Chain A
Amino acid sequence: MLISVKNLKKEFKEGDLTTEVLKGISFDIKKGEFVSIMGPSGSGKSTLMHILGFLDKLSFGKYFFEDNDVSNLSDFELAKMRNQKVGFVFQSFNLLNRMTVLENVTLPLIYSKGFKGEREERAKEILDQMNLSHRLNYLPNSISGGEKQRVAIARALVNKPEVIFADEPTGNLDSKSGFQVMKILQELNDRGNTIILVTHERITAEYASRIITIKDGLLLDDSPVIKRQIAAENQELIK
């Protein structure tokens, strides 16, 4: 099993006030799955993604990653897990505007071992797969939103992670660019990558093969998608 959470709880304390955001959630995700975590805003889906993506620590329960208990990692260990095991695609791209496209994609490799030349080769290879070879030395401000998100996907992939977390990846894109991004994610999944998509839209969630629905910090539903959205079928729109 790639990911397994048991009775996962998360509390936020502010002064005397304790807010329970996740109230005991359990599920498993197998390697190679494409899972959507869906829920309205405030449901706790982002917090769940942060914990699964090693950005935050859980308060109670257990989290197993590749069958290892990762519930109580130190900050240093969490950073290493983020660097080597997961990749993030954010709604607002989070590219560094003062760095070129190539430098942005190389960034995660800076925090792992490897020589500069090797890193650039690897980043160029991924950017080529994203059809961005002609944008290597562009600054993010001078490329389109769709291209920015493709750069962000390239950055998420560059360290060959076990899981890619995509947090509302189409939220800031027009529908055409949105389809393109979903197509890329589905293609990555077809090639064996595990994808966890966080969204509040049912239609976006249905690009995955399974939807975990969260509401008020509880797991409301966990079921496969019966009629899956296939981005490639919107080929006309993509063109």
Chain B
Amino acid sequence: MDFHDSIIAAVQMIVRNKTQSFLTMLGIVIGIMAVIIVMSLGASAQEFILGQIKNYGSNMVAIVPGVPDSSGAPAAAFGIVTTSLKNRDAESVINSNNPSIEGVSMYVRGSDLVNWQDNTMSVTFYGTTASYPQIENSVVEKGRFFSVDEESSNAMVVVLGSKVATELFGDDNPLGQKIKIRKSNFTIIGVLKSKGGNFIQNQDEEIFVPIKTAQNVLLGINYLDFMRIRVDKTENIDKVKDEVTSILRENHNIDNPSDDDFMIRSVAQALEMISSITDILKFFLVAVSAISLLVGGFGIMNIMLAIVQERIKEIGLRKALGATSSEIVWQFLIETMTITFISGVIGIILGISISFVAAQIINALGYQWTFIVSYDGIIIGCVVSLCIGLIFGIVPALRASKLNPIEALRHE
């Protein structure tokens, strides 16, 4: 009995026993589908997250106050306020005149409800430097950003994120209007172009005032929440980090590196870290969906054992007509593998379709989500479904091949 005959026989069996075959296949279809969806959505999510971070530019270096820990999150992430980073630090970096440093910006932040006429919105306000648009790749759509003079003179001016402008002012022109932040009046001088959000921050929903105004008038503090440095080339990042580290140590009178009270991180570093986290997540999700494949595999084995039991007489007859034991093994193995392979293909098609629909829905919700077909997933799906057929089909097939033809023929 050749391979071709076995496959045709298997397909005929599937077609003739539609209900039974459908139920047999369901476990594997769902399992493979889950793996494909997880791999596809996982790849898309990874691309989405990394894309968001890359929007900042991978040449960005961030300095946050707090005790460094090469792998952990900054203390600020846990709500701990650290006051060690000062304006002076940023000024020292600027004054170092390092040719690789394209710009430095400082940040403090707070939040408040702001309103104009009947419209109210809860916003995060940032005190920052005039260099903000250059550092953050932001574009001013209307009016202008505040100047270096305004930055150092406690000017009561504000630049709005695009969404804040739309929500508060609708079609009206916000330029020249006044809004209250923490009970102080600010004049709107500009509106930023929409940039879209990411999971760290959404500039469109924020407003920006000069750093000293924020520190002195709004927050009453003399420290920075963080600062950012734009480096000219990726390969200069390490050099810049070293120079900034030594400037900050000098400013903070630190001799021993273990006493550092600040952390310097680059976007490239963050990308690497996030890639590894999303890889682990993806692997974990695939592992979880693989469990459903295992369950499906046992389902197949169970049903194939029942099929062998049902077909004892047929096996006896086939042996009487000259089938060898190995031909019986192959017949049942190929039947099982055909069932699991067809299930795998159906699972792959369903998985890709569902990932595609999901991508369309997420896109419709306004996110830049790319639909990614994971070719690895397709190959893995095919191979895994064949392997499941082989692994879970072997026990029923061996059982069938060991039947004594005389007893099998007598079986009723």
Contact = CB atoms under 8 A, between A and B. Distances in A.
Interface of A: 50, 53, 55-56, 75-76, 79-80, 82-84, 88, 90, 94, 96, 98, 107-108, 110-112, 116, 155, 159
A90 B16 contact: no
A82 B321 contact: yes
Contacts of A53: 320
Interface string B382-412: 0000000000000000000000011001000
A155 B13 CA distance: 21
Nearest to B412: A92
B324 A80 contact: yes
Contacts, number: 58
Given A79-B324, A108-B322, 12 more contacts: A55-B405, A55-B406, A79-B325, A82-B320, A82-B322, A84-B322, A88-B320, A94-B320, A94-B409, A96-B317, A111-B327, A155-B321
Contacts of B5: 110, 116
A62 B142 CA distance: 107
Nearest to B331: A110
Interface string B314-339: 10011111111111000000000000
A107 B1 CA distance: 9
B109 interface: no
A82 B325 CA distance: 13
Interface in B3-57: 4-5, 13, 16-17
B163 interface: no
A107 B320 contact: no
Contact of B319 (A79, A84, A90, A155): A79
B314 A96 contact: yes
Nearest to B401: A75
6 contacts: A75-B324, A79-B325, A79-B327, A83-B322, A111-B318, A159-B322
A143 to B, nearest CB: 18
B313 interface: yes
Contacts of A111: 1, 318, 321-324, 327
Nearest to A46: B406
A50 B324 contact: no
B412 to A, nearest CB: 9
A56 B409 CA distance: 13
A27 B205 CA distance: 103
B93 to A, nearest CB: 81
Nearest to B313: A94
A76 B406 CA distance: 16
Contacts of A155: 321
Contacts of B409: 90, 94
Contacts of B1: 110-111
Given A98-B16, A110-B1, A110-B5, A75 B325 contact: yes
B176 to A, nearest CB: 85
Contact of B323 (A55, A79, A90, A96): A79
Contacts of A75: 324-325
Nearest to B311: A96
A112 B317 CA distance: 15
A107 B406 contact: no
Contacts of B319: 79, 82
Interface in B204-261: none
A90 B327 CA distance: 23
B322 A80 contact: yes
Contacts of A159: 322
Contacts of A90: 409
A145 to B, nearest CB: 18
Contacts of A116: 4-5
Contacts of A83: 321-323
A208 B319 CA distance: 28
A51 to B, nearest CB: 10
A50 B321 contact: no
A116 B5 CA distance: 8
Closest 6 CB pairs of A and B: A83-B322, A79-B324, A111-B322, A108-B321, A82-B322, A110-B1
Nearest to A159: B322
A112 B322 contact: yes
Contacts of A108: 321-322
B322 A56 contact: no
Contacts of B324: 75-76, 79-80, 111
